[in-house]
Structure 1
Amino acid sequence: MARATPLKGNWLIKLIALAGMLELVYLVIANLLLNVPYIQMKLSSKPDQFTIQWSSGWTYLPGHLYVNNLQVEGRTPERQWSVLMSEGEFDLALWRLFSRTIQMQSSTMSGLTVTVNSTITEIPGAAESQNPAAPAGPPEALQPLEKINIPSSIEQKKTGAGWAFIIGHADIANIDQIKIDTYIFTGHGGVQLNELTFGTDGALALERGTLQIESGLLMSGSKSIGTSLESDIELRLERFVPAEQDGLTATGFISGSIDLSGDLSSFAILNRYLSDSGWLQLKGRGALTTHLLIEKGRLVEGSELSIESPDLAVELEEKNDSGSGDQYSIRGAGTVKGDVSSRSGDAKTQLQVELKDIVMHTEPQEQLLLKGKAFHLLLTGPPVYLSETSAEPVVRLQWDEAVMPDISLLNDYLPGEMPFRIHAGRARLNGYLNYTDRVVSGIFELAGEDVSGEILNESVIGRLGLELHLKQADINNRQLDLSGTRLELQTGHSDPGTADQTDQGALRTELKIIEGRLTSAIPLNELKGFQGRPPLSGILQLEGKIGNIDFLSDFLSDRTALEFGGDGVVRTNLRVHEGQLAPGSILEIESDKLFSSFSGFTASGSGNVLVELQKVAEVEEISLKMDLRDMKLHQVQDGRLLFQGKGLQLSASSPPVDIRNRHDLLKIEVKWQDALVPDLEIVNGYLPENPPFLSSSGSARTSGHIEFDNSSISGDIRLAGENVTGMLLKQPVSGKLDLDLLIKQLKPESRFLDISGTRILMQAGSTAGETKPLETRITIGEAKLKLSPDSLQEEKSGAPPPLSGVVRLEGSVANIGFVNSFLKNSQGLKIAGNGHLNADLRFLEGQMAPGSTLQITSDNLSSRFLDFEANGSGKVSARIEGEADAPVAKIESSIKSFRLRRLGETVSYVSGNGFQITTEARSFDSILGLQNLETSVRLMAAEIPDITVYNSYLPENAGISIDSGTGKVAGEFHLSGNSGSGNLDMMAEGVEVNVKGQVIRGDLHIYTHLADGNLEKMIFDASGTTLRIENGSLLSQNGTQAEDWWGQLDIKRGHMTWKRPLLLNAALNLQLSDSGLLVHLFVKEKKKWLTDLLTIKNVTGKTKVLLNGNSILLSKVRITGEQLLVLADVLLSEKKIRGGMYAKYGILRMGIELEDEDRTLRLMKPLKWYDSFSKDFETVAR
């Protein structure tokens, strides 16, 4: 065995000693340097950008270090960060220090705390509630981490800290905290880093990094985001310079995978990727499971997210231009699932939210909108980049089997001025909405029962079905497309008590919007609750069935002038501009049951309605046309049928409805052709009081048209009837009626009426069977009338309306008896006949006024007074004179060639030329007629062809009769009210009067004087009346004839009742050529001597005469002459004669009692006998 030499052993010892010395020097110097600030300051050469500090450190071997409380900090204009480790062990490559590079080949650390603070203060989700069950407040807006503008005076540094760092491998255990802005993460876990580099230029890179956590807790400030978190994260970081990246753009250099699970108590981080405007938010809590694959900051295919939540809420906010709007919360138990997949070659990110047993409220009022079985939310978008907020995804929201307990809440979503409102009701709802690039589309189905509401001010209740097709709601361009929308409405009684009953008369409406493209002048979401007409423009085409067309009135400026009803098929092509209909708009309705009400009438039938908005001469106008077939026209008041026919046309035009206050611009026209009035009696209701003609039965055909234009009415009506029965001038008639009513102008406001030009033809045969028909043809040349302001009160009271104006008539009149309607008196005045009429009538307040005239010329004129009637050719004139407040009326009837007869007889008593009746009323009223009449009757130059007709005035069978004679008569009567007077002068020749067998021949003159007459009883004072016969002869029964016989009777006093036979009670004075007339009655023909003895010339006397209709009584007859005195009483009746006479002639005295043919002489005390006889005779005779 060889020994080592001493030289070799010394060198070994020296070498070991040198190494020991060097180690000792290293320990002293290295540990000294690690614990003095100098080295830390050198490493932190740019403290405003980068600092590195530790509290203590030591080393045993070169390059192997132990450090406590190591803190590395960095600052950029966008953020500041720090990394703190409680202790660490590092292996350094010392030779790299000479190149200002700190290279850690391996390291082991614990107690890691990482802090990253952004200079942007508002952080997503920082304010979100920790308690998911609490009511959600308004969702916070999520702001992207954008680049902060730094003033130009501050230079942005792009270099690093002056030192480069390289970590080959590092194990970090016991993570204390990772804090990024307000987000704080704590938990149990570890981090491994491989090849982490930070260059002198500030570039950062990581080849591989892993993070494993158990029982992790994520907070935002003091509020929990997630608990019980477990993760397995593996990331790599491509080289980049953080100082050169803005916001979260640095995440674009990250790739790897993230597996995370735990209990999620906030969706704040997820919400920032749902919507860039924050209109969609998720709230609640749940169990999270996620597997994310990241490539350069982008989620790639295979990424998945799942959240199971017992209490999940979807928050929706209607954003408007002000950045705020209505908010809604949809809550329920459900799941959130997301994934990234590749379909059709394009990677897409999808997020699905499924809710069950949902409740939807408005926020923050918490007003219940609906409950439902399920809600689905699907978001589809491009791959998510962690470095930026996602673009607006494609969103689908879907409601299944939802129920709205109160659909009146939908009123809040309608503009203010809509034709309908919902009061109450419950409805089922299904539907979905799609949202893409600020464009909304979808379909909603709404089905409601017992829905009550108001449509066009009409209360309705019934079933509602709505299928809303929202093809497009373009938020940016403010465009709305509702094409395909369907509406079904069945309405019945508005009484909720009858709502459950089957209503056979229920109205059903089914409408479909064929095309409904509209553009709004304001943001679409501001249409909700808009006051006034929504400012929409576009096209709206509808088709379908409508249960009630009463809405048609709303197209007219005065919706009360026309009312419509019925159902039918509707088609529209509406053009809308700023909420108003525009020219070119058309609405058509075809109906089998159509009716319209106007001016107190209702027209019904089948037909169509066409409504158009036209532009004529730069003026917009609504045109409405209704064409009825097989129509009927009824009165609204009592429902009676006025007429029916094949067709009626109604047209109306007015300005558009936005100027409703201009009712005067409404125009209406109604036309009908060849319609049938089945019962003309109904026309009586349109005639004034006491018209000359009233129909009781019959039918007529009618045609015509009526126009309403600018508050006035005009038109013409034709009425033609056959076999019309009724009362013509209060007489029954049956015949033909023809009327052409021309309404030139009727102004309801000023109450002015002009029917000038109207023509009337009435041809009728008397129901008594007259062969010659009567005909009336009247042309109203002028008729301009005005109703007084009080006419409405007059019409309600039933009185005729007070008219003022002028009426001029001309034509032929079949019966002029209408004049008699003014002769309501006891004078027996009456006019009849036919003739030619000319009238100029003035009316003032319903009364005929002074200046009114009427004239009728007739070849068949009949004038009556008392009980006489004159017939012939003549004329009737009437006029009103005086003042308006005291009118005087005069009627004059004059007949040139007349015949006079008594009423009820066919034989004329008198005929001649010149008969006139003039009546003047000191008081006149159009309704009451002529009052306080003063009438004069003149009879001029009349002839009596046979005076025997006057026998009817003598008592029948009284023994006195007129056997022959002709004469002339003239007279005048004056009638004043109920009293009358007059004179009648009759001259007759060849008169032969038979008085009990004695015949008087001669010339007869009767002067009748009547005074103080009572026209009701026809009793007159006849005092002054004289009867005289002269140039005659008296032929007695014995053949004795006295020539040149004359006699005169003067009524001294007496009263006469003018009737047949005549009644007279008078005292007469007698003048006779001789006494033979009386003597022959008492003395037999055989006693001629006695007759000659008692017949004395030139006798006078007196008597009382009584004609009672059956007999003639002469009492107290006293005749004297020369020596003769005759006293007598005679009763002529029933072809018998009875009487007594006392005669005294000289010394001769005698009495004769007459009993028909028996005569008894009384010679004993004849005077005493006579006195006794006379006394008893007068008593018995009366």
Structure 2
Amino acid sequence: MELNFATRSWQRVPSLARRWIRLGAIVLVGVYAFYLLAGNIFINTPIGEWTANRKPEKFQIQWSRGLTLWPGRVHVWDVRLKGHAGRATWSVEAARASGRIAILPLLRKTVRVPEVVAYEVTGAVDIGGPHKPPLPARAGGWVLQFDRIHSDSIRHGRLGDLVLDGVGRANVGFFKQLRGGALELMPSQAHFENAQLRFGKDALLRDGRIDADFAIARHTRDQARGIAKLLLTDATLKLDGKAPTLGVSIDPQGRIALSNVAGDGRAQIDLGFARGSLTPGSRLRWHTPVRGRDGTGKAFSDALDVALDVDRDMHLIARAPAQAEGRLSLDADVTVRGTQVPLKDARSLLPRSSGHVVGRWHFASLRWLGSFFDAPWLSLDGAGVVDADVRVIDGRIAGGSRVGVPDVQAVAHVMGNRIAGRARADGRLDTGPDDEVLPRLELVMERFDIAADDAAARPFVQGQNLRLLLESVSGVERQALRQPGAMKQVGQAMRAHLTFADAKVPDLRAYNRYLPNDHLRFDGGSGTLSGDLTLDGAGAIGQGTLGIDARAARMHLAGIALRTDVDIDTKLRRADLKRHTFNIDGTRMALANVSFTEPGGESRGGWWTRIDLQRARMDWDRPVSIDGRARIAMKDVGFLLALFSRQKDYPKWMFKLVDSGPAQANGNVRLAGQTLLLDNVDASNARYDVKARLRLHGKQRAGSLYAKWGVLSCAVAVDNGQRDFHLIRAREWYDAQPAMLP
């Protein structure tokens, strides 16, 4: 009955209309059939991927197969996307995805996707790759608008070394205009259950729950680049899960090794971020058990607790009670003014920070500690434990703070020498005038070596118990040093006091690199070196003493080989920093038990001399040069006579001079390079008088000598191998000879 009614109704339609309706239906069916054929061919042949991947260096998409049953509706399987923006590369994979594209907006150059649903999603982002600068912005770019990208099956995500595994869901939407147009991340959400978070191989969270909301306001590239986009970002993060246990292993030398292992810690985070600042009410609680064994094998167990609370300021507390024989502890209470997060320069956080930090911790490198004391010539390096009690006011370490290092590798470079050894260091900050903070460091090397900077692998001094005190010069003190009559060179804002005693010198020949070898050198023997030096902030000697002590040393002095006990006490007072010259007034050199062979082959023994430099200057640069006037005491004048001639060449009465007792002498001395000059030498006692001047240059020898004993006198001229004796009017002849020094 109903069928007949429908038939009669269709028959009442005019025949022309019926033909148009039939034709329209056929066309629609044909168009739909053509769409099914063309659309599925497009998706399942390389044509689709070729069309989508017109900029493969910036964006690529691939899929294994696809299906479209209605215009604007697409289903694809095994989807893989990857892209490159700036220094970041990213990739996303999904087992399946389906979506809908709005057709009419395409006429306005807008690709609007109201919804995409993805299944079994994983993703990764790597930062730090080659930079690909974007093209200049141009008008007329297509708009990409994805209102909702949804997945209930996110399995894995990675940002650099930070890896997240779990069961997640997310809703994300974004707007992007191509050709450098605006970008917007619409209000989006993500949620993870059973989350496992790790950094590299170290676990950070397990069995966790994570909830996040985030959005970025619409902006162009010129309005916000890189990290500046965070100033347009609003986000919240809630996290709750199990934190790992911190494993600590300490060897007998005190070195600490850390590791993360599964444990029963707790992590709770509820943070809000609004365009560059943490929102009031944000909080963080992190509880990490600490377990391990100390250097004796004894087990210990405790915990590290970190808390952050945000209101008008940010307040951070971190505590780890002392364990492992006191080698591991922390008690920090720091307040940061304001809630702004330092996005571009983390150091800007320091001026806003005040608080107190006490603890002991192991650092992989202690180089930062040496630089803290503004002494570039001193370095503290290697791994080590630091014991700190630090007070901070407005980002500056305040007076009363201290830092101790029980074991560190220390190296000091002093005037071309390298002093190195294992040391213990104690630093503190004193308060000076006008509340000025003055760093102070005490360093003790139980064992040390000294080598030349250019031969660091060949130390020539080995000692014990070297002490270095490094302290700041206050502003008031520096101003006083600049007053008329004070030091001309103030140097750096630091000064140091270096002391050591009786360090072993296994081979005295090591000093020859600093000596003019033709006229003063060591040919063998061992001894000791002691020092008491004041240094400035640049590591240059200001004043002090250096002492050398040796027994039965072999020396070469003024062309004569001798064996002697040596005792040298050098007094240093800087005269010119740039030229490395020193005033060495008061320097003393004593030679005892001297034995030597005269030019004629005669041997002498038991001779001694003491030399006091009354006025003298020394140039530190290699080889050392000396210029000054000396007062000399000697057992007899035998060595002085030997400098000019053989015994058998002198008149026989001159032998009596040698046996006529000790002599007191004065003279001018200059030792520089290949030249040794002795001038205006006057040696005498109650029975005789000897005067001399001598110039040694390489193997060349020239000079004159005058001797008087009673009514007898003699003068001799030396010109290399030639000698000319003057027995008549000897004094007049000697006085007529030119001086060696002006």
TM class by shorter chain equals 0.5 to 0.7
In 2: Cα distance, 1:751 partner to 1:923 partner: 34
2:547 alignment partner in structure 1 = 985
Cα contact 1:785–1:805 (8 A) shared by 2 = yes
Q: Does 1:668 align with 2:228?
A: no
In 2: Cα distance, 1:850 partner to 1:603 partner: 50
Q: CA deviation at 1:1147?
A: 3.3
2:407 alignment partner in structure 1 = 858
Q: Does 1:1077 align with 2:639?
A: yes
Q: 1:713 to 1:985 in 2, by over 3 A?
A: same
Unaligned runs of 5+ in 1: 1-485, 492-501, 512-542, 546-564, 573-586, 596-601, 613-622, 629-633, 643-649, 653-666, 672-703, 717-740, 758-777
Cα contact 2:317–2:332 (8 A) shared by 1 = yes
Quick one: which of 380, 396, 402 aligns to 1:847?
Answer: 396
Q: Residue deviations 1:97-139, cap 9 Å, x none?
A: xxxxxxxxxxxxxxxxxxxxxxxxxxxxxxxxxxxxxxxxxxx
Q: Does 1:969 align with 2:529?
A: yes
Q: 1:1111 to 1:636 in 2, by over 3 A?
A: farther
1:907 alignment partner in structure 2 = 458
Cα contact 1:489–1:510 (8 A) shared by 2 = no
1:953 alignment partner in structure 2 = 514
Q: Letter of the aligned partner of 1:1008 in structure 2?
A: T
Cα contact 1:962–1:993 (8 A) shared by 2 = yes
In 2: Cα distance, 1:1130 partner to 1:832 partner: 52
Q: Letter of the aligned partner of 1:708 in structure 2?
A: L
Cα contact 1:714–1:744 (8 A) shared by 2 = yes
Cα contact 2:113–2:147 (8 A) shared by 1 = no
Cα contact 1:997–1:1037 (8 A) shared by 2 = no
Q: Does 1:745 align with 2:295?
A: no
Q: Does 1:1109 align with 2:673?
A: yes
Provide the TM-score with structure 1 as the length reference.
0.37
Cα contact 2:227–2:343 (8 A) shared by 1 = no
Cα contact 1:954–1:961 (8 A) shared by 2 = yes
Q: Letter of the aligned partner of 1:1054 in structure 2?
A: A
Quick one: which of 916, 919, 924 aligns to 2:470?
Answer: 919
Cα contact 2:174–2:184 (8 A) shared by 1 = no
In 2: Cα distance, 1:591 partner to 1:976 partner: 64
Q: Residue deviations 1:1133-1171, cap 9 Å, x none?
A: 323322222333333333322233232334565444433
The structure with higher relative contact order (CA 8 Å, sep 6+) is: 2
2:600 alignment partner in structure 1 = 1038
In 2: Cα distance, 1:825 partner to 1:1038 partner: 56
In 1: Cα distance, 2:222 partner to 2:466 partner: 51
Cα contact 2:378–2:411 (8 A) shared by 1 = no
Taking the TM superposition and a 5 Å limit, the aligned residue runs for 1:1078-1097 are: 1078-1084=640-646, 1086-1087=648-649, 1089=651, 1092=655, 1094-1095=657-658, 1096-1097=660-661
Q: Give SS of 2:673's match.
A: coil
In 1: Cα distance, 2:627 partner to 2:270 partner: 72
Cα contact 1:831–1:864 (8 A) shared by 2 = no
Q: 1:1124 to 1:790 in 2, by over 3 A?
A: farther
Taking the TM superposition and a 5 Å limit, the aligned residue runs for 1:422-821 are: 507=110, 509=112, 567-570=145-148, 589=171, 609-610=188-189, 638-639=225-226, 667-668=236-237, 708-709=271-272, 711=280, 712=282, 714=284, 744-745=307-308, 747=310, 749-753=312-316, 781-788=330-337, 801-802=350-351, 803-808=353-358, 810-821=360-371
Q: Residue deviations 1:142-176, cap 9 Å, x none?
A: xxxxxxxxxxxxxxxxxxxxxxxxxxxxxxxxxxx
Q: Give SS of 2:526's match.
A: strand
Q: 1:588 to 1:1061 in 2, by over 3 A?
A: closer
Q: Letter of the aligned partner of 1:973 in structure 2?
A: L
1:1170 alignment partner in structure 2 = 734
Higher alpha-carbon deviation: 1137-1146 or 973-982: 973-982
Taking the TM superposition and a 5 Å limit, the aligned residue runs for 1:239-258 are: none
Q: Residue deviations 1:544-596, cap 9 Å, x none?
A: 99xxxxxxxxxxxxxxxxxxx96225499xxxxxxxxxxxxxx985669889x
Q: CA deviation at 1:955?
A: 1.1
- For this pair of structures, how many residues does the alignment match? 492
Cα contact 1:1151–1:1166 (8 A) shared by 2 = yes
Unaligned runs of 5+ in 2: 1-100, 118-142, 151-168, 178-182, 192-210, 241-266, 273-278, 287-303, 321-326, 477-490
Q: CA deviation at 1:954?
A: 1.7
Taking the TM superposition and a 5 Å limit, the aligned residue runs for 1:409-420 are: none
Quick one: which of 1054, 1061, 1080 aligns to 2:623?
Answer: 1061
Q: Residue deviations 1:965-1010, cap 9 Å, x none?
A: 2223333223366772222333211122222442332221112222
In 2: Cα distance, 1:896 partner to 1:1157 partner: 53
In 2: Cα distance, 1:593 partner to 1:792 partner: 27
In 2: Cα distance, 1:744 partner to 1:1007 partner: 61
In 2: Cα distance, 1:1002 partner to 1:848 partner: 55
Cα contact 1:887–1:922 (8 A) shared by 2 = no
Cα contact 2:380–2:408 (8 A) shared by 1 = no
Q: 1:780 to 1:1030 in 2, by over 3 A?
A: same
In 1: Cα distance, 2:711 partner to 2:684 partner: 15
Higher alpha-carbon deviation: 969-978 or 906-915: 969-978
Q: Letter of the aligned partner of 1:1147 in structure 2?
A: V
Q: CA RMSD in A?
A: 4.9
- Percent sequence identity is 21
Cα contact 1:786–1:805 (8 A) shared by 2 = yes
In 2: Cα distance, 1:897 partner to 1:510 partner: 74
Q: Residue deviations 1:1010-1057, cap 9 Å, x none?
A: 235555544332111111112232321322222221101001122223
Q: 1:610 to 1:831 in 2, by over 3 A?
A: closer
Q: Letter of the aligned partner of 2:465 in structure 1?
A: G
Q: 1:754 to 1:1072 in 2, by over 3 A?
A: same
Q: Give SS of 1:1097's match.
A: coil
Taking the TM superposition and a 5 Å limit, the aligned residue runs for 1:70-469 are: none
Cα contact 2:532–2:545 (8 A) shared by 1 = yes
Q: Residue deviations 1:801-853, cap 9 Å, x none?
A: 41322344644445433233234358x44444543322232211221112322
1:886 alignment partner in structure 2 = 436
In 2: Cα distance, 1:794 partner to 1:1119 partner: 80
In 2: Cα distance, 1:924 partner to 1:837 partner: 29
Q: 1:1166 to 1:862 in 2, by over 3 A?
A: same
Q: Does 1:1051 align with 2:613?
A: yes
In 2: Cα distance, 1:744 partner to 1:1115 partner: 79
In 2: Cα distance, 1:985 partner to 1:923 partner: 31
2:422 alignment partner in structure 1 = 873
2:562 alignment partner in structure 1 = 1000
Q: Letter of the aligned partner of 2:428 in structure 1?
A: R
Q: CA deviation at 1:1080?
A: 1.0
2:254 alignment partner in structure 1 = none
Provide the TM-score with structure 2 as the length reference.
0.56
In 2: Cα distance, 1:825 partner to 1:1014 partner: 20
Q: CA deviation at 1:944?
A: 2.4
